[in-house]
Amino acid sequence: MDKYIDITLMPDPEFETQQLMNALFSKLHRAIGEAAPGEIGVSFPKAGKRLGDQLRLHGTQESLAALMAMPWLQGMRDYCQVSDCKSVPDNVQYRTVRRIQAKSAHNKRKRSIRKGWLTEEEALERIPEEQQKVLKQPFIQMRSLSNGNPMRVYVEHGPVRDEPVTGEFNSYGLSAQATIPWF
């Protein structure tokens, strides 16, 4: 993971930055598995309460070239600036960038009923809507490729560390174990 590409969203009077990031990330998700499955990581260098206006792609020269050779940015080029593929600076730190999920009360009830642990009435009583955990991390809003339903991909940048950890990234470019260079 010695190369990176920055994609910076340009201000637009018609669309909020978050809307553009949602669209950009959705397109990336569809392309990343086809171009270099497990080899490309992402980070959001300007993340705070929101993910910000910059998406950084991390990988090797080959994996990033394979991704950028695809037409996945079609329709987004007017809204973003794409850097050249650059070498990661020396003396960087590392961190994980992972997806976090909270199971909804509805899904917990359905599973408990399906497994036979609870009846429908017991599930409604024991697993109230208030039990739903609210996540405070920034997220990407997108549509599920499998069923078309809207979904949120909550993103958490892990603690900074001095040594890299190798591993695979999922189709979102996220991993709970593998690190990306942080600078």
How far from the centroid of its chain's Cα atoms is residue 70's Cα? 19
65: its two tokens: 């070239």
29 is catalytic: yes
95: its two tokens: 């961190």
Q: Which of 29, 58, 106, 157 is catalytic?
A: 29
For residue 110, CA distances in Å to 7, 52, 62, 113, 145 come to: 40, 35, 44, 5, 22
The answer to whether 99 and 51 have CB atoms below 8 angstroms apart is no
Please list the active-site residues.
29
